[in-house]
Structure 1
Amino acid sequence: MARREFLLKSGYLSIGFSLLGCTQGSNAATPTPLGEAADFSLDPQMAPLPDGSRIDAWLQVLENGQVRVLTGKMELGQGLKVVMQQVAGEELNIPPQRIDVLIADTGRTQNEGVTAGSRSVERSAMTVRRAAAAAREYMKQLAAKKWETDADALELTPEGVKNNSGTILSFTDLLAGQQLDTEIPQDVSLKPKDQYQWVGSPVPHPDLEKIVRGDAVYIQDMRLPEMVHARLVRPPVYDARLQSRDQAIERMPGVLQIVENGSFLAVIAEEEYQAVKAADALQKSAQWESGTALPEVRSWADYMLEQGEKANHPAPASGNAHHAIYSKPYVMHGSIGPSCAIAVYDEERLHIWSHSQGVYNLRATVSDMTGIPEESIRVTGVRGSGCYGHNGADDVGGDAALIAVAFPGRPVRLQWQRSDEHQWEPYGSAMRMELSASLDNSGRINSWRYDLWSDGHSTRPRGNAGNLIGARLLAEPAVFGGSGRVGGGTRNSEPYYRIPKVDVSDHHVAGPLRTSALRSLGAYANIFAIESFMDELAKKAGKDPLDFRIEHSDDERSVAVLEALRDLIKSEPAAAGEGLGIAFSRYKNSASYCAVAAKVRVDLEQKKIRPLKMWAVLEAGEAINTDGLKNQTEGGMIQSASWTLKEEVKFDTQEILSKNWTEYPIIRYDAIPETEVVIIDRPDLPPLGAGESAQGPAGAAIANAVYAACGKRVRELPIERYLFGS
């Protein structure tokens, strides 16, 4: 019995909703609400995009008078949509809930590159703010011309422009079918901050209620008419090649086609479970030529030194010198929902729905892989089930494109399996961090040397097909250009402290596993090492760890978050077996300030570490949405706790072993610590990105708390493995 028939006969109806309307033209009407069928018309060119210096590149008035914001950035769960609503609504005097936000789409929005590096608020949202302010002044000027009055005497309201007598001209009447096709002045006047109604307030994220209810929100939920389903069959290791397969799989129920191109192997079926069963049979029957064996690794600290570029380490300068080596393993993005994409091809044009963080980059890369011109490819962003960094989203988009081109005419939905996601996503690189420092007679640091070893931290597709894993499996395989040097691995490698002599060097390692950008890139490991080392130096100097950091800080904003953290934890008791640890960083040494404290319980006999509570003080300049900042910080601390205590990609010489949640454990709901976050708002300063600020100090705070609880300093991650030997 087919799944659909079974569900109907059992009295349960499963309905797949389309997520968005892909209506034609830049002057489209109101967006298609959830539950209505999507128009997936294959017109990748759409209307020509307005120049990015014009208001209508960022802001449009729809036929019903509703205002739409257009952003080339992707909503990842970081709350970008509500921030866009707030800043645009503030400048236009329109409640944020009445602002529609259209996210990344190569047919509709500007090319704003990749949504990464915690830059979306300080760059993209501020561009939207300026566009909204320009729109306000432009519409007031249009009304002033109609009424032959002074624009300064007019007011923008949610219904339109109002004059002193209370008469209102609606936005649609003012524009008379046109758009806001005028330049954004360089000196546009923003709304005075003392008149803010919504910025700085905890405006709820528009999608949270839908997510909690389990509504159709993600690409994984998206359904299109006449859609078929696909599954992949992957080789056991990266460069293994297909030798043979069972040709009878095509005759299995529901199977429409087997796509075979070199070692790229996929099955297409009418129903999803039919595709799953056929792919499973295909996986069991496929024979592969052995690929390159993976190395045996006992210690990442040793491996990175042995395989990487060499460094010379000077002897300690004095008896007050201190030296330590830290390391972290490969870590997964570990998205709870495996990656998914939908693609449809009509033998001329290709349309892809994807949760890629760079839709224009994906378009260029798919063009390079398939030979289809970029202008004939459209990539529409649909949020995925959560990821900070380069997980499998681009790869599955490329895979879906390959399958759709081989099976034109009907939309193809490709859902990766859990094993696909765990084995084939690009991981965060393993790293080694070696530190040496000396103290003067007063216990202050007078010299600092830092060496780090890492593979590259970004292999995002940027027009090069070799960065898509599927393209490397084709009969004419695309060539992977490599991960480059350390790249983002150097992020936060320089201590954000006042130290007379600092020497920082990076050393590239061509590691055995696929790597790319994972939330905060190298900052997590660098801050873990630096802030663990600061605690060790504080102990050597006989000083309180928090006082020691303040003593080495000459930035008053750093001192403010540390002092605020002191106030949060000053009365916190610690029983036997419990410990309190702290850490601090300024993300990228130029973005948000974050100080974190962690309280843990360590049971050496039972081999258990329980994070009890975590505190954070965050300062990100002007706080647009205080709840959003708290959410990001809470989530960052919990994710970091999981990385620090548990996570490690395991493999043997033949394959990746971490294929599921049993073999790659993450922190469970019943182990999540209580969290408390304080936001220091600086409305007089520009807003700063905060989505990646907590990971580094949170990990170091936990390591320092473990030391405080049991007296054992763990310098290799994950802590549970190296503390308990498991």
Structure 2
Amino acid sequence: MIELPKTSRRKFLKNLGYISVGFPMLGFAFLNQDPEMAARVLYNGNLPGSMRNANQINAWLRVMEDGSVKVFSGKVELGQGIRMAICQVAAEELDMELDQVEVHLAETGLTPDEGYTAGSGSVPNSAMSARYAAAMARKKLLELASKKLNTPESELILYNGLVKTKNGSQSMNFAQLLEGAQLEMEVTKPVPVKVKSGYRYVGKAIPRKDIPKMVRAEEIYIQDLRFPGMLHARVLRPAGYQSKLEKLDDSGLGSAVSGLVKTVVNGSFVGVITVREYEAVKAVDFLKKRSQWSESPDFPRQENMYSHLKEIADPPQQIRNDGNVNEANNGISTYQASYTKPYLQHGSIGPGCGIAMFDGDILHIWSHSQGIYPMRRAISGMLKMDQEKIHVISVPGAGCFGHSTADDAAADAAILAMTLPGKHIRVQWSREDEHTWEPYGSSMILDLKAGLDSQGKIQTWTTDVWTDTHSMRPDSDPATLLDTRYLESPAQLKGRGYLGGGHRNADPYYSIPNMQVNAHFFNGPLRVSSLRSLGSYGTIFSIESFMDELAEKEGKDPIEFRLTHLEDPRAIEVLKKIKETTNSAKLNDGEGIGFAFSRYKNTTAYAAVAVHVAVDTKSGAVKVLKMWAAVDVGEIINMDGIINQLEGGMIQAASWTLKEEVTFEGNKITSEDWDSYPIFRFPEIPEVEVHMINRPEEAAEGGGEVSMPPTGAAIANAVYKASGKRVYDLPITPEKILS
């Protein structure tokens, strides 16, 4: 059973003393301190994104009654290990043991509103906010101790939750210093942070505490969460995206399902509440056979999908225009290629789940959403209910990176809970509903054109990308929640979400004097939203495949060709490292090693990936034998955590590249289970070797989406080396290799 809070938020805030800090800051300067104190430097740099926009003081750190510290973050745990990373930086700055610091993640009314856990932003935003909050809290605690102990700060030592005099005559823990009072203040610059050479925890491979629980199959996920007297529910989904309920015959349902508690019908929304989960499954099956729906229009034929998407696209928007591509193309050799990426599922191992309970005043929701505050705003709009009357608690889900069905499952539970006050209502999605109703990652088309001079240097580059939106995450627009489209008073989408994710990384990171990027946005036939790395997986697949083609046309080594077009020393180093790492690899007939590189968003972390594959020339089957990565995320907070993220990203991208594609026919999604939507299984997972380049002097960047983009291209390049077949249309299937 998941352990729930043992006290109310109101009582917690009233009874406990805490330090709440928020601050503007700007580089580093040295701060001289007593040699017995941990060395500190003055930080005057930029405020992390999670705190920069806060005009009022935010509660990031609180001292508990026993003198321990609780740190609050609005980010959620997705398997990226953010809880441990935050614990490390806070314990580091407060000179405490790790066990003295507890991290509380994502609960409305208690933790900061940090939007979504997305974009590899947890470490640079939330963890860095915790770092600076803890550092300033330490400074204030020392000032307070100096007054209470009547001792100069230079004669005090702060360590492991105590402030004591150097002669050992007096000491106080943090709670004793505060005496139950609240210590609120706005932090002024500069902030004294620990010098990096003095770190005890940061940069170390400290294991997450939740991993052993996962291995032992303990109940840590929302799918496992149970409450006394909890009821179970399922929702009858429409026949298609645009179908409306025309008739529902629920007579006899009570006789067929003994544990039926309630049937809820609101427009085309149909939900059933039962005593046991299997009874909810039976009830939905019963109603499915006795319901009539209007027809939903057919999707375009799958084989004509890409031509259809080009036909429905808006006029192009020029995203980047450096130099003069048209003039520079005169008199030089130009090459072009076109690449496609299909719609992709999140493929959550655990289908969406949501739990809600309306106590007559407050609607409590437990969810594995990646943005509990934005989801609260959407549910508030859906129910026309004051946001402050909705309390959302984040619980980990056996899920994925991106906008999955978590928000929709929470909305299901919220609607049903409002009809039955005082009862916890648990909605568990089915595998079929998960696969057919989730918001997919958009299909993409990429047309590339490059011009090379007589020395083999790229002088011109044009990217044309066709894409749908890459984020329709719930927020102020309630129609981003699936249910709102089927209620008696349906909501219509107010916009098309975040279009910029579609051309992310579409402008190569290479030094090219004349470059143009054009985005052609379409409103496609399938429901789409954020999927791990957004458009970068598709754009980098095309760019890095094309770079290999250009290198071959010039008769150059693919890595050396890339290096001649790079000026950033950090980019150069990851490429040199990946080449060095793979130099000793042995290749047999039918095998090849491919390479690819990207800097995520062209502004954050760097990754070079190499993949060793074997291709059976008779069957066309591709086997990934080994994958390597050389990665630079700046300062590393947790070595174990970052490597886990990178390995997972590479494996997921390999599955996308070789297996995954949403399929449809008529008005039905046909990839509705693991047979029709295959993913990598354990026997297919290769050895993965990650080499980190630690740069503690650089800003810390996240790694959740860094390794995905170059992995797909590296596999495509390896397949070409092994088989001589260049595949432009993902996924790379045996049929395409043999065609």
TM-score, scaled to structure 1: 0.92
Structure 1 partner of 2:287: 282
Structure 2 partner of 1:109: 111
Structure 1 partner of 2:45: none
Measure, in 1, the Cα distance between the counterparts of 2:494 and 2:668: 22
Structure 1 partner of 2:466: 453
Give yes or no for the alignment of 1:298 onto 2:300. Answer: no
Listed one character per residue, the Cα deviations across residues 499-554 of structure 1 (whole Å, up to 9, x for unaligned) are 11101110011110001010010001000000000000000111000000000000
Answer with 146-155 or 501-510: which moved more: 146-155
Structure 1 partner of 2:224: 221
Deviation of 1:184 after TM superposition, in Å, equals: 2.3
SS at match of 1:719: coil
Q: Which of residues 112, 127, 130 in structure 1 aligns to 2:129?
A: 127
Cα distance change, pair 29–607 in 1 and its aligned pair in 2 (3 A): farther
Deviation of 1:74 after TM superposition, in Å, equals: 1.0
The 5 A counterparts of 1:262-273 are 262-273=267-278
Gaps of 5+ in 1: 1-15, 31-48
Structure 2 partner of 1:339: 352
Answer with 456-465 or 705-714: which moved more: 456-465
SS at match of 2:718: helix
Give yes or no for the alignment of 1:173 onto 2:186. Answer: no
Give yes or no for the alignment of 1:23 onto 2:26. Answer: no
The 5 A counterparts of 1:28-47 are none
Listed one character per residue, the Cα deviations across residues 165-214 of structure 1 (whole Å, up to 9, x for unaligned) are 22320111111012342222231110111111110100111211111111
Q: Which of residues 655, 666, 669 in structure 1 aligns to 2:668?
A: 655
SS at match of 2:213: helix
Deviation of 1:130 after TM superposition, in Å, equals: 0.6
Give yes or no for the alignment of 1:544 onto 2:549. Answer: no
Structure 1 partner of 2:457: 444
Q: Verify the 8 A CA contact 1:527 1:585 in the aligned structure 2.
A: yes
Structure 2 partner of 1:37: none
Cα distance change, pair 314–511 in 1 and its aligned pair in 2 (3 A): farther
TM-score, scaled to structure 2: 0.91
Cα distance change, pair 615–414 in 1 and its aligned pair in 2 (3 A): same
Give yes or no for the alignment of 1:199 onto 2:184. Answer: no
Deviation of 1:20 after TM superposition, in Å, equals: 4.8
Q: Which amino acid aligns with 2:470?
A: H
Q: Verify the 8 A CA contact 1:55 1:135 in the aligned structure 2.
A: no
Structure 2 partner of 1:8: none
The 5 A counterparts of 1:353-392 are 353-392=366-405
Q: Which of residues 399, 412, 424 in structure 1 aligns to 2:425?
A: 412
Moved over 4 A (4+): 16-22, 51-56, 310-319
Q: Verify the 8 A CA contact 1:591 1:690 in the aligned structure 2.
A: no
Measure, in 2, the Cα distance between the counterparts of 1:80 and 1:722: 41
Give yes or no for the alignment of 1:640 onto 2:661. Answer: no
Q: Verify the 8 A CA contact 1:600 1:709 in the aligned structure 2.
A: yes
Deviation of 1:694 after TM superposition, in Å, equals: 0.6
SS at match of 2:678: coil
Q: Which structure's residues are more often strand, by fraction?
A: 2
Give yes or no for the alignment of 1:488 onto 2:492. Answer: no
Percent identical: 46
Deviation of 1:314 after TM superposition, in Å, equals: 7.1
Deviation of 1:18 after TM superposition, in Å, equals: 4.4
Measure, in 2, the Cα distance between the counterparts of 1:473 and 1:55: 41
Cα distance change, pair 56–136 in 1 and its aligned pair in 2 (3 A): farther
Q: Which of residues 247, 250, 253 in structure 1 aligns to 2:254?
A: 250
Structure 2 partner of 1:5: none
SS at match of 1:581: strand
Q: Which amino acid aligns with 1:269?
A: T
Deviation of 1:319 after TM superposition, in Å, equals: 6.3
Q: Verify the 8 A CA contact 2:163 2:171 in the aligned structure 1.
A: yes
Measure, in 2, the Cα distance between the counterparts of 1:721 and 1:403: 46
Listed one character per residue, the Cα deviations across residues 132-163 of structure 1 (whole Å, up to 9, x for unaligned) are 01111111111111111111332222241121
Q: Verify the 8 A CA contact 2:95 2:161 in the aligned structure 1.
A: no
Structure 1 partner of 2:20: none
Measure, in 1, the Cα distance between the counterparts of 2:690 and 2:607: 10
Cα distance change, pair 29–339 in 1 and its aligned pair in 2 (3 A): farther
Measure, in 2, the Cα distance between the counterparts of 1:675 and 1:372: 49
Deviation of 1:364 after TM superposition, in Å, equals: 1.0
Measure, in 1, the Cα distance between the counterparts of 2:176 and 2:235: 53
Structure 2 partner of 1:40: none
Measure, in 2, the Cα distance between the counterparts of 1:122 and 1:200: 15
Deviation of 1:426 after TM superposition, in Å, equals: 0.4
Deviation of 1:607 after TM superposition, in Å, equals: 3.0
Measure, in 1, the Cα distance between the counterparts of 2:462 and 2:456: 17
Measure, in 2, the Cα distance between the counterparts of 1:249 and 1:531: 57
Q: Verify the 8 A CA contact 2:466 2:521 in the aligned structure 1.
A: yes
Structure 2 partner of 1:61: 63
Structure 2 partner of 1:561: 574
The 5 A counterparts of 1:566-715 are 566-715=579-728
Answer with 483-492 or 498-507: which moved more: 483-492
Q: Which amino acid aligns with 2:529?
A: S
Measure, in 1, the Cα distance between the counterparts of 2:84 and 2:119: 19
Structure 1 partner of 2:31: none
Q: Verify the 8 A CA contact 1:27 1:62 in the aligned structure 2.
A: no
Measure, in 2, the Cα distance between the counterparts of 1:536 and 1:556: 24
Answer with 74-83 or 311-320: which moved more: 311-320
RMSD value, Cα: 2.0
Give yes or no for the alignment of 1:463 onto 2:466. Answer: no
Cα distance change, pair 154–78 in 1 and its aligned pair in 2 (3 A): same
Deviation of 1:110 after TM superposition, in Å, equals: 1.2
Q: How many residues align?
A: 692
Q: Verify the 8 A CA contact 1:161 1:171 in the aligned structure 2.
A: yes
